[in-house]
């Protein structure tokens, strides 16, 4: 059993896609272990996306992620990170497979509905960042 973090980004929340997004993970077989609606502080977003801080779009990304609350979820299941990333699809929705969240629900890389951890190690770091109360 492994865990991963998924964020329904501001565009997904504003478009009322949270149920659709979470349902796709559940239908795939992942279990919802924790869930909350959370407004993001700039510092948290900057830490979360620090690996992109040298990119020209970083300021826009921080602004986008702090414009409205996100839904943070911990999902559990066998190979949770890999399974979730398959359900999510490629970062660029135009390259994402039909049937994936991004392939079906997004049209641009900057606002692509959902974030998912990219490794087991990062999943644990991200879970602690968004769910510090779970220790």
DSSP-H helix ranges across 51-119: 58-65, 80-88, 101-105
Cα–Cα distance between 83 and 29 in angstroms, integer? 9
The verdict on whether residue 85 carries a ligand-binding annotation is yes
Contacts of 104 (CB under 8 A, 6+ apart): 98
Which residue, chain included where needed, has tokens 């135009």? 94
The verdict on whether residue 66 carries a ligand-binding annotation is no
- Which residue of the set 3, 24, 48, 115 is catalytic? 115
Active site residue 48: no
The verdict on whether residue 9 carries a ligand-binding annotation is yes
Distances in whole angstroms, Cα of residue 99 to Cα of each of 30, 31, 72, 75: 17, 20, 22, 20
The verdict on whether residue 91 carries a ligand-binding annotation is yes
Binding residues for ATP: 9, 57, 85, 91, 102, 112
Tell me which residues are annotated as active site: 115
Binding residues: 9, 57, 85, 91, 102, 112
């Amino acid at each position: 059993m492994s865990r991963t973090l998924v964020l329904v980004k501001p565009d997904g929340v504003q478009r009322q896609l949270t149920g659709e997004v979470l349902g796709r993970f559940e239908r795939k077989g992942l279990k919802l272990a924790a869930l909350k609606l959370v407004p993001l502080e700039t510092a948290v977003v900057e830490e979360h996306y620090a690996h992109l801080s040298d990119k020209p779009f970083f300021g826009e990304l921080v602004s986008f992620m702090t414009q409205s609350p996100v839904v943070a979820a911990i999902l559990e299941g066998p190979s949770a990170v890999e399974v979730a990333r398959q359900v999510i699809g490629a970062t660029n929705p135009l390259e994402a497979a039909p049937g994936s969240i991004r392939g079906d629900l997004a049209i641009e890389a900057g606002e692509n509905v959902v974030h998912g951890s990219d490794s087991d190690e990062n999943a644990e770091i991200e879970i602690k960042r968004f769910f510090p109360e779970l220790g």
